[in-house]
Amino acid sequence: MSFQWLKTYPKLNQAGGEFIRLVNDVMSDETEQDRGHVASCIDCYMNQHGVSKEKAMKEITKMATNEWKKVNEQLIMRSTEVVSVGVLMRFVNVVPSRC
């Protein structure tokens, strides 16, 4: 049952993935720029909105915070008959450890 639930790409999975991506870009920005990697979400935000790097990082951090709120919201609104609390908690515990 849990695997079937995960295959539906639930909101918990979506928000967790977004959170990881955003936090990773904020935390690794300098390293990525030194290595000459492709544009991060920070670079894209700066170009799209015409703002400074500092402003872009603040906005991306706000976006990450909102995604984390969605993760917590999904935990509160979970349906235990679909997936066990243990499975949900394993998933949630992985999210911050990836940042």
Q: What is the pLDDT of residues 64-98, one digit of tens each?
A: 999 999 988 887 876 555 777 777 777 677 666 55
Which of 35, 44, 50 lies closest to 63, judged by CA? 44
Question: What residues have CB less than 8 Å from 41, skipping those under 6 apart?
Answer: 21, 22, 25, 60
pLDDT tens column, 18-72? 998 899 888 887 777 777 767 788 999 999 999 999 999 999 999 999 999 998 8
Crossing angle between the packed helical segments 53-76 and 85-97, to the nearest 10 degrees: 170
Q: Where do the domains of the chain lie?
A: 14-94
